[in-house]
C-alpha cells in the first residue's frame, strides 16, 4: 500500500513534463510560423518577434508551473542587463519579465524551433571556437543595443553555488565602451531544483526536478544602472557585487 502514491507519482510526473514540453514546442512553432507568415507582408521585425515571444513566455510560465515576481524597475531605454545564471529557465523568466534579446552561445541557433526563434528575436550569437567569433559578436552586440536591451550572463554557464561563478573578463572590456547603461539583475528561485547542474539533460531536469515537488517561484531583482566606467576590472567587480547584494540580503532562495 505504501508504494501506491510513489508509483502514481513516478508515472504522473514524467507525463506532466512530456505534456508541458510538447505544448511549449508546438505553441512556439505555431507562433514562429504566424510571425514568418506576417513578415511576408510587413517585413521582418525583431521588435515584433520579441513582443510575440514575451507573451509566449508568460504562457510558458504557467505550463512550467513557475510564478515570477519582478522587484525593481526594468530599464525604459536600451541597456545591457548582466545576470546570474541558474538554468535554461532563466531565458523564459527574463524574456517574459524584460522583453529583451540575449547574448548566447552559437550552437543555440541550431536548436529545433527555439533556435529559429532566437534568430528572429535578434539574439546575438557567440562562436567561442571561431577565430574571429568574439569580434563578430562584439560588433553584433554594439548594433543590437541601439534598438533594444540585451541580457548577458557573464558567468558563461549555469552554476549551483550560492554566488555567481567568475565573470568573463573580456566581456566587460566591451561593455565599458557601449553607449548604453549596464544594469545588474539577480535571479532567486524558491528551490534548488530549478538549477540546471549535475550534467542532466534538459529532459532529465524537467522530468526529475522542475515537475517534481511544489511549483517553483522566481524573484527577479532589477538593480540600479552601474556607474559608467571604461575600467573593465572595476565594472566587473561592481556588477558582481550588485548581483550578489540581493542574495546576501535575502538569501540564496526566495
Q: Domain extents for the chain?
A: 3-250
Q: Which option is the CATH number for 3-250: 1.10.260, 3.90.1570, 3.40.1130, 3.40.50?
A: 3.40.1130
Whole-number pLDDT of residue 111:
87
What order do you get walking across the sheet with 66-71 strand by strand?
66-71, 216-222, 182-189, 80-83, 150-152, 101-105, 124-126
Q: How far apart are CA 51 and CA 53, in angstroms?
A: 5
Q: What cell was used for 181? A: 547603461
Q: How far from chain centre, in Å, is Cα 78?
A: 17
**101-105 and 182-189 strand pairing:** unpaired
Cα distances (Å, whole numbers) of residue 170 to 102, 132, 155, 177, 231: 17, 14, 11, 12, 12
Identify the bridge partners of residue 187 per DSSP, sorted by sequence position: 220
Q: Tell me what pLDDT residue 16 has.
A: 83
pTM: 0.92
Per-position pLDDT tens, the chain of length 254: 455 555 545 557 778 888 999 999 999 999 999 999 999 999 999 999 999 999 999 999 999 999 999 999 999 999 999 999 999 999 999 999 999 999 998 888 898 899 999 999 999 998 877 767 788 888 889 999 999 999 999 998 999 999 999 998 889 999 988 999 999 999 999 999 999 998 899 889 999 999 988 999 999 999 999 988 889 999 999 999 999 999 999 999 99
Neighbours of 13 (CB within 10 A): 17
Residue 70 CA, distance from chain mean position: 14
Amino acid at each position: 500500500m505504501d508504494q501506491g502514491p510513489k508509483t502514481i507519482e513516478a508515472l504522473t510526473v514524467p507525463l506532466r513534463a512530456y505534456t508541458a514540453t510538447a505544448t511549449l514546442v508546438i505553441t512556439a512553432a505555431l507562433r514562429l510560423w504566424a510571425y514568418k507568415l506576417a513578415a511576408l507582408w510587413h517585413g521582418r521585425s525583431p521588435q515584433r518577434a520579441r513582443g510575440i515571444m514575451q507573451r509566449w513566455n508568460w504562457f510558458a510560465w504557467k505550463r512550467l508551473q513557475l510564478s515570477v515576481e519582478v522587484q525593481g524597475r526594468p530599464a525604459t531605454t536600451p541597456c545591457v542587463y548582466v545576470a546570474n545564471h541558474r538554468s535554461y529557465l532563466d531565458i523564459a523568466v527574463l524574456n517574459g519579465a524584460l522583453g529583451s534579446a540575449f547574448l548566447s552561445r552559437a550552437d543555440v541557433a541550431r536548436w529545433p524551433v527555439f533556435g529559429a526563434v532566437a534568430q528572429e528575436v535578434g539574439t546575438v550569437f557567440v562562436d567561442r571556437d571561431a577565430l574571429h567569433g568574439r569580434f563578430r559578436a562584439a560588433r553584433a552586440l554594439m548594433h543590437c543595443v541601439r534598438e533594444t536591451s540585451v541580457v548577458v550572463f557573464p558567468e558563461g554557464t549555469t552554476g549551483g553555488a550560492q554566488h555567481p561563478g567568475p565573470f568573463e573578463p573580456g566581456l566587460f572590456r566591451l561593455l565599458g565602451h557601449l553607449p548604453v547603461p549596464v544594469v545588474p539583475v539577480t535571479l532567486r528561485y524558491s528551490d534548488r531544483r530549478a538549477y540546471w547542474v549535475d550534467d542532466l539533460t534538459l529532459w532529465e531536469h524537467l522530468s526529475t526536478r522542475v515537475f517534481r515537488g511544489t511549483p517553483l517561484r522566481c524573484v527577479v531583482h532589477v538593480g540600479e544602472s552601474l556607474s559608467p566606467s571604461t575600467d573593465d576590472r572595476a565594472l566587473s567587480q561592481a556588477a558582481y557585487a550588485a548581483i550578489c547584494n540581493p542574495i546576501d540580503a535575502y538569501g540564496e532562495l526566495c
